[in-house]
Amino acid sequence: MSESVNNPFEASHVDQPRDDVTGTVTPTLGPFSAGAIVAASMIGAGVYTTSGWTLADLGSPTLVVLAWAIGGAIAICGAICYGGLAQRFTESGGEYLFLARAVHPSAGMMAGWVSLLAGFAGAMAFAASTFESYLRETGWPALERLPERCIAIGLVLIAASVHSVGLHPGTRVQNAVVVMKFMMIGLFIMLALANLPNWEGFTGHADSGNQANSATPGGSIATVDTSHDPIDEAPAAPSPFASLLAFANALTWISLSYSGFNAAVYMTGEIKNPRRNVPRAMLYATLIVTVIYVALNAIFVFAPAAARVTAQPNVATAAAAAIGEQLTASGSGIGRYISPLVRIAILTGLATSVLALTQTGPRVYQKMASDGLLPSFLRGHLGDRHDGVGLNLRPAILTQAVLGCLVIGIATLRQQLDYLGLTLSVCAALCGALVFVVHRQDAPVLPRWAFPWVPVVYVFGTLMIATLTAVRVPVQGTVGLGTLSLGVIAYWLSRLLWGSRASGDRRN
């Protein structure tokens, strides 16, 4: 199948109706900005926090790296699926737009509700909370006097202020920080690989003979030292099903780190030549980030001794400290700079993640409000300077910031991780399955080599992970399913409160 100039997946050009409440939005973002949005959304809190808990659950650094590789493969399949959908539906709005236009408005509302509570507000809270955790590790006296969680709340409010100024100013700041983040991550990876002969994890695996797995009160499989226990008192190895559940739960956390692969679809209406640039931005950025993730997490779990990072939330800084000590011991003066470099890279990455979520999330609320499913003050409109709807989305930006601050105040990092990973997995699987609905022989959204195997891998993998995790962590599974159900209830409530378009219009 040949590739058209403006359409990499050869989807038909189906024009979608414009929102009459927002005027005509002139696309102004180029492919670099689209890719930067994806990269900024992906490289956030998860990659710097997940592997410590994953190593405790799986007991093997090799399995941790394998889980990240599998998560990347699933995310790449997802990027291809979303790229096909983005060519069929060329407005901003993401999952809400796809499901509302192709299935039913109630399905779109369910996805939009998940975006409101988990996809953006929850993910933003997770990134901001991790930012505070890493910043407090510096031990600065001034930070110790600040109340807990106020730094995370402050970061959310700063991001809201940046993007309230307008689309272009906020994008320029975000692009610059993303470039700086990639430079620092690349430098750290090169230094760590140059120190490969000194890595300690190859001989200090968490699954060595001196350690065994035991269940923690939270239901995870932790690693404990049994070197001094009598042999006949050693706990039995976990069953294959328990190991499968642990691996699925690890993939759920990892899938959250990859969840930003679809970020460009929330901004489709503001990206130039979206049928070409949006799919390519998602695919290329996801490929690059997957390579970075696998490299980083191999460093995190193999460079230091396993005991140093197992079950630790700040695994990245622990690994960086170990690498710095190894370099110093080998006579390299650069070792003392490793920890500060990584900490700055982490804080920069987390800040860009919050910035990206603050930019993309309000576009979903704007689209839902335009369809009459949310209050009209969230609709937004073009300003006098014609700087895109971002200029006049301050109510939506503020609403998301308030929700993010609430999540920061009520949930711990690990609770946020379980809830976000499971809930977003279910919603993403629904959109992946949507490819089977819109893909036709006369108007394909995916090339022959990708259909049907790519959406099958994405949907099956995502649903399997979510199902096994719900079995293992039933409380978070119940909360996640409750969030999905509330979306359907909210749809009918919105029709009652704010009215709707004609019932014959699939948009609402």
Report the 10 Å Cβ neighbour count for 214.
13
Q: Please compute the mean of the pLDDT values over residues 77-94 and round it to a whole number.
A: 92
In tens, the pLDDT along 126-149 reads: 889 889 988 988 888 888 889 989
Q: How far is 415 from 412, CA to CA, in rounded Å?
A: 5
In tens, the pLDDT along 306-321 reads: 889 988 878 888 999 9
Report the 10 Å Cβ neighbour count for 2.
5
> Which of the pair, 232 or 342, is modelled with greater confidence?
342
Whether 208 shows a pLDDT value over 50: the answer reads no
Residue 48 pLDDT level (bands cut at 50, 70, 90): confident
- The token duo for 262 is 């679809």
Q: What is the pLDDT of residue 134?
A: 84
Q: What is the DSSP string of 229-294?
A: S-GGGSPPPPPHHHHHHHHHHHHHHHHHHHGGGGGGGGGGGGBSSHHHHHHHHHHHHHHHHHHHHH
Q: What is the pLDDT of residue 425?
A: 76
**Could you tell me if 453 and 117 are in contact, meaning their C-beta atoms sit under 8 angstroms apart?**
no
171-180, 291-300, 460-469, 492-501: the lowest-pLDDT one: 492-501
Residue 435 CB contacts under 8 Å (≥ 6 apart), including other chains? 81, 84, 85, 445, 446, 451, 455
Residue 413 pLDDT level (bands cut at 50, 70, 90): low
Q: How far is 15 from 7, CA to CA, in rounded Å?
A: 14
DSSP 414: H
| Residue 230 backbone dihedrals phi, psi, to 5 degrees | -60, 150
Q: What is the pLDDT of residue 206?
A: 44
Q: Please compute the mean of the pLDDT values over residues 278-300 and round it to a whole number.
A: 96
SS3 221: strand
Q: What is the pLDDT of residue 165?
A: 80
In tens, the pLDDT along 342-395 reads: 999 989 989 989 998 998 999 898 888 888 888 888 887 655 544 444 447 888
Residue 246 pLDDT level (bands cut at 50, 70, 90): confident
Which among 267, 22, 276, 279 has a CA at the least distance from the CA of 163? 267
Whether 230 shows a pLDDT value over 70: the answer reads no
Whether 332 shows a pLDDT value over 70: the answer reads yes
Average pLDDT along the chain: 79
Q: What is the pLDDT of residue 182?
A: 92
Q: Please compute the mean of the pLDDT values over residues 239-243 and round it to a whole number.
A: 79
SS3 342: helix
> Which of the pair, 226 or 439, is modelled with greater confidence?
439
Residue 18 pLDDT level (bands cut at 50, 70, 90): very low
**Could you tell me if 483 and 118 are in contact, meaning their C-beta atoms sit under 8 angstroms apart?**
yes
For tokens 């990134």, the residue is 127
User: Which amino acid, residue 322?
Assistant: A
Q: How far is 8 from 278, CA to CA, in rounded Å?
A: 10
Share of the chain above pLDDT 90, in %: 32
Residue 476 pLDDT level (bands cut at 50, 70, 90): low
Residue 490 pLDDT level (bands cut at 50, 70, 90): confident
Q: What is the pLDDT of residue 390?
A: 43
Whether 228 shows a pLDDT value over 60: the answer reads no
Q: Please compute the mean of the pLDDT values over residues 107-129 and round it to a whole number.
A: 84
Report the 10 Å Cβ neighbour count for 428.
29
Q: What is the DSSP string of 343-410?
A: HHHHHHHHHHHHHHHHHHHHHHHHHHHHTTSS-GGGS----TT---GGGG-HHHHHHHHHHHHHHHHH
134-138, 167-171, 297-301: the lowest-pLDDT one: 167-171
Whether 237 shows a pLDDT value over 70: the answer reads no
Residue 236 pLDDT level (bands cut at 50, 70, 90): low
**Could you tell me if 117 and 323 are in contact, meaning their C-beta atoms sit under 8 angstroms apart?**
no
Q: What is the pLDDT of residue 22?
A: 42
Whether 184 shows a pLDDT value over 90: the answer reads yes
Whether 117 shows a pLDDT value over 90: the answer reads no
Whether 3 shows a pLDDT value over 50: the answer reads no
Residue 164 CB contacts under 8 Å (≥ 6 apart), including other chains? 393, 394, 397, 398
In sign, the C-alpha dihedral spanning 492, 498, 503, 504 is negative
Q: What is the pLDDT of residue 325?
A: 92
Report the 10 Å Cβ neighbour count for 230.
7
> Which of the pair, 216 or 480, is modelled with greater confidence?
480
Q: What is the pLDDT of residue 19?
A: 41
pTM to 2 decimal places:
0.81
Q: What is the pLDDT of residue 427?
A: 81
